[in-house]
Structure 1
């Protein structure tokens, strides 16, 4: 594995493992065609999309820690989710995880394997929020649920400095949007944010331009836009909760963004990292060559995914050390 580093950019060159090659093959012949063909305007199409995503997320048969369901009243309404790695005690350091899948699919259950691994590696419980999904619920339902989950954690006795927010794909977009909402409310930012293949531009224009240079084995920009439209139809894309690229600032938490070198969304993370650093914020960017969308899910079999999670460990250890030194 070769790592080429700039000031805050890391282009990590890896040789694809057999597990990665098998995943790419399966995506090309099953996942990408299914996502393209499914009619998302019909209930059957939505169910088909969700089934495809369940297969993609759970195909690794990852070991899962026990989960404790949460259904509670938060400061701004109901919060639903689950504690993975045991319910946290007030004052514990915790992870707040926001799952992805285009605002239309997946759940804490589909991501419980990855969330369990993060809990084991970082030695802290994870609250994985379950937000309302499209097409039944549209913007800003998911954003409201994610904000309420964060505020509920604070209400339970967790300081923002003890919370690390993580998200993948659309969950990464929600995580970035959460930081904007916290700014507007005058609520302290979390200790850090980690994004896996995060959506930054919900119009998918950045992805479309990037897609002219690479071929995404998982989803095209056109398909991604069609999927997210089920949640964003009628939305104002200038809203700072959506236009997170235009809402960067030095007050945002330190971030680690990881993306695959062969995914259409790769340029989203690149643009966000550059913009945040230009605005005076801290953002580390890792581009994993030849890797696909949210490849971290393959950690049980893929050496590349395990190495990426090793990097997450180092990033969070550094955050913890800095907080301890300044406490």
Structure 2
């Protein structure tokens, strides 16, 4: 059941499924303590974190679509990633997907299940970009790779109005940062942005304040910044690529942000949505009560995840309807 809390806000109240309760229990027992204890200043800690994230992402056993790997040079730099669900001709609609995991882990492979489901539901191929990871590569390496991937699509003849950008967690932060970069370059914005549990404040001050109100089954307000510091060490947080909240404006594309009600990052999406609307932009927000970080990954087993992706379908249909006019 959806309860309206604002013009474009919904708190989605559902009874937790058995699969969701089991996931929450496992995260509390294994994932959250492991992430806190791993020494991310060492290679052993980094590889341990990456292994934990691979398990968390791939444990859902969702069906995947065929994929085609891409590794190509271009005037803006190297573009690495994969097409899932085919490859569109110029003029066809597509999704540009940016994976998350704190800038330190994951890849198009770990997210191929969710990406495949998005491709099936939305009837369009997805380009999942692979960007360089911390701690070997620090800011702005990932941001450069994401921008290069988007520009490569434009160079191939795809129009910005055909592209919907999606990202989860740190990938959501990269998606929001991409919009600011396109503004600085004087380039057209994508048709829309969809964010799953997006990071908005890379300092994690918003999350740490919200940490007092929830018990996040996956990550705490202290662990999050420790992870992201592997990428952001020495970065200027006032840089518009990082300070995405300060870059809101009416020129940004319409957005749908989803978050779990029990995660510390829920406040990031709430505050960003309110700020963008106050600045004259369109941003729909859904907070799914009791759900955890990027719960949409569990679409194969979780009814809550399938419901969230139903909302993504409705949002994208509304964007398509506008472009068809």
Q: Normalising by structure 2, what TM-score?
A: 0.99
Return 5+ residue gaps in structure 2 as ranges.
none
Aligned residues: 325
CA distance in 2 between counterparts of 1:72 and 1:124 reads 22
- CA distance in structure 2 between the partners assigned to 1:180 and 1:253 by the alignment: 11
In 1, Cα distance between equivalents of 2:2 and 2:252: 30
Shift of 1:3: 3.1
| Aligned-partner Cα distance in 1 for 2:293–2:208 | 15
CA offsets 1:60-110 (integer angstroms, 9 cap, x no match): 001000110001123310000000001221111000000000000000000
Residue number in structure 2 paired with 1:134: 134
Query: What secondary structure, in the 3-state scheme, does the structure 2 residue paired with 1:221 have?
Result: coil
Q: What are the residue-to-residue correspondences of 1:299-314 with 2, within 5 Å?
A: 299-314=299-314
C-alpha displacement of 1:6: 2.1
Structure 1, unaligned stretches of length 5 or more? Answer: none
| Equivalences for residues 1-327 of structure 1 within 5 A | 1-325=1-325
Indicate conservation of the 8 Å contact 1:74/1:151, yes or no. Answer: no
Indicate if the aligned counterparts of 1:74 and 1:149 stay in contact, CA closer than 8 A: no
Contact persistence 2:96–2:163 (CA under 8 A):
yes
Q: Tell me, yes or no, if the aligned pair for 1:263 and 1:292 is still in contact at 8 Å.
A: yes
Cα distance in 2 for partners of 1:197, 1:282 equals 18
Runs of 4+ in structure 1 off by over 4 angstroms are none
Whole-angstrom distance in 1 between the partners of 2:191 and 2:78: 24
TM-score (norm 1): 0.99
User: Deviation per CA, 1:244-273, whole angstroms, max 9, x where unpaired?
Assistant: 000100000000000010000000000000
Shift of 1:5: 4.5
Partners of 2:74 and 2:84 lie apart in 1 by 19
- Distance between the aligned counterparts of 2:22 and 2:155, measured in 1? 45
Give the conservation status (yes or no) of the 8 Å contact 2:94–2:124.
Answer: yes
The separation in 2 between residues aligned to 1:5 and 1:312, in whole angstroms, is 19
Contact in 2 for aligned 1:172/1:199 (Cα 8 Å): yes
Tell me how far apart the structure 2 counterparts of residues 304 and 33 of structure 1 sit (CA, whole Å).
Answer: 25
Contact 2:2-2:10 at 8 Å conserved across structures: no
- Aligned-residue Cα RMSD (Å) equals 0.7
